[in-house]
Amino acid sequence: MTISRRKFLSGVGGAAGLLTLGRHTSSSKRNETPPEADKILLKGGYIISMDDEIGELPEGDILIENGKISRIAEEIESQGEVIDASDHIIIPGFVDTHRHMWQGTLRNILPNGTLEDYMETITGTYRSKFRPEDAYIGDLVSGLSAISAGVTTVLDWSHIGNSPDHTDAAIEGLMESGIRGVYAYGGGAEGEQNRFPEDIKRLREEWFNSDDQLVTLAMAAGINEDQWKLARDVGASISVHVNTSGDLLPMAELMGEDVTCIHCARLLDEEWELMADFGAGLSISAPIEMQMGHGIPPIMQARRHGIKPSLSVDVETSIATDMFTQMRSIFSLQRMQAHYEEQQGDTKDLMTVEEALEYATLQGAKDNGLADKTGSLSPGKAADLIALRTKDINVFPVNHPLGAAVLNMDTSNVDMVMINGKIKKWKGELIGVDLEKIFEEAAESQRYLTE
């Protein structure tokens, strides 16, 4: 892919200025700060919109006004702060539908761990030792690393509700990171201070009294009728782990579009039909499910029943925090299974890179209940997007931009991240973050928990 600058330079004269994405050797350019304007124009990028009406623009412009996308076209007259996005692929920010963010300081602690090891070590031991400040820094570290990796929206499956203080601290860390989030309130270690699930009423009043805020409310529920009803009483969506055959059948009367089922490797056909009939969501964490022993990620079952899955990191205790890993894992797994089934005489159904990116963006937004706000580059939606640098040795020259984004790129190519119109990562570096202070707090938490 060779992206020209067409008439770009000749049209900049009347604009507020020209900022260029990409790494530079010049110290003056390296210190160039990102724009903080109500109106920002991205020019000349390869746009992959995930919007059926817009599609892909090999060289296009995106106008952002007051945090929202106002227009996408092949060429827009220069106005506001102008960013030269040539040599970049612009896509919607990744959307993660299930991540236990309080474990941010426990990342990579179980590189060889199984599901049994995780249950014994993390939720069985470490969780009971967590202080509120450990939950706070865990969420903050996880949120910032997600942003750095191009994730602009995440559902925080927060089963660290040891006490209201733990819950509040986790919410504070999530919000402080600046990511668009869904805080899924869950249980925690058993004890007198555990207020799950009733404390969700307080959370709605004190933290989530508006659905227009950057972080919204869900319940990290069990297979429990009372919990599902309580979630709906306070207007919270439902996210639930489901990995035992038959568990969903008693919940048939409560199934709905506001429910997202996680893992689902061992579901019965009747349960898949139930999810499909009611439009329930499915969140797959392919690397963890294969690594820890949840079962074979159910991508084939989902496709047979017409269910598009979303993707999620799940636990950082054993896996990388990025969605590139998720896309490649599910893509390779599905195609391996499809090729095998073809050898057995079945019809071949091969996943495409277009579908993999949809699962990681638009479908994630749908399962998080945020498809009206994010998940695609569409006029009227929030400006949640990322710019992927193409002039890096791991991807250049680019022959298929969407294929490069799914199969060749990694977090090193994430040059810019924008959430709600605010630039959070610029020229490959997080903006407005005191990393040294965060590292100190994370190290202190790590020392305490280790002891």
pLDDT in tens, 178-237: 999 999 999 999 999 999 999 999 999 999 999 899 999 999 999 999 999 999 999 999
Contacts of 386 (CB under 8 A, 6+ apart): 90, 91, 92, 93, 94, 150, 152, 414, 416, 417, 418
Q: How far apart are the first and last CA of the chain?
A: 53
What's the rounded mean pLDDT across residues 414-437?
Answer: 97
pTM for this structure? 0.95
pLDDT band at 436 (very low <50, low <70, confident <90, very high): very high
pLDDT at 437: 98
- The CATH code that applies to domain 94-367 is 3.20.20.140
Give the residue ranges of DSSP H helices in 149-235.
164-177, 200-206, 225-233
pLDDT above 90 for 85: yes
Q: CA-CA distances (angstroms) from residue 72 to 67, 69, 264, 321, 377?
A: 14, 8, 38, 30, 8
Q: Please determine, for residue 355, whether its predicted confidence score (pLDDT) is greater than 80.
A: yes
pLDDT exceeds 70 at position 147: yes
Indicate the CATH number of 9-92+376-430 among 2.30.40.10, 3.40.50.261, 2.40.10.10, 3.40.50.2000. Answer: 2.30.40.10
Quick one: pLDDT at residue 400? 98
What per-residue confidence (pLDDT) applies to 189? 96
What pLDDT is recorded for position 12? Answer: 35
Every domain of the chain with CATH number 2.30.40.10 lies at 9-92+376-430
pLDDT of 16 higher than 80: no
Closest CA to 292 of 445, 123, 411: 123
> Can you list the alpha helix ranges (DSSP code H) found in 297-322?
299-304
Q: What is the pLDDT of residue 28?
A: 40
Mean pLDDT of the chain: 93
Task: Specify the DSSP class assigned to residue 304.
Answer: H
User: What average pLDDT does range 293-317 have in this prediction?
Assistant: 97
What pLDDT is stored for residue 344 in this prediction?
81
Specify the residue for token string 């070590």. 121
Cα–Cα nearest to 413, from 98, 123, 148:
148
**Separation in Å, CA 98 to CA 347, 404, 449:** 32, 25, 24
What pLDDT was estimated at residue 342? Answer: 84
Task: Return the H-helix or E-strand segment holding 46.
Answer: strand 39-48
pLDDT at 123: 97
Q: What is the largest CA-CA distance in the chain?
A: 68
Which residue spans of the chain are classified as CATH 3.20.20.140? 94-367
Residue 158 scores a pLDDT above 90: yes
pLDDT of residue 6: 43
Q: Which two tokens stand for residue 313?
A: 């990191």
Dig out the tokens for 115 from the structure.
Answer: 């599901």
Q: What is the pLDDT averaged over residues 69-94?
A: 97
Residue 5 has pLDDT above 80, yes or no: no
Kindly tell me if the per-residue pLDDT of 434 is higher than 90. yes
Segment 17-36 shows an average pLDDT of 64
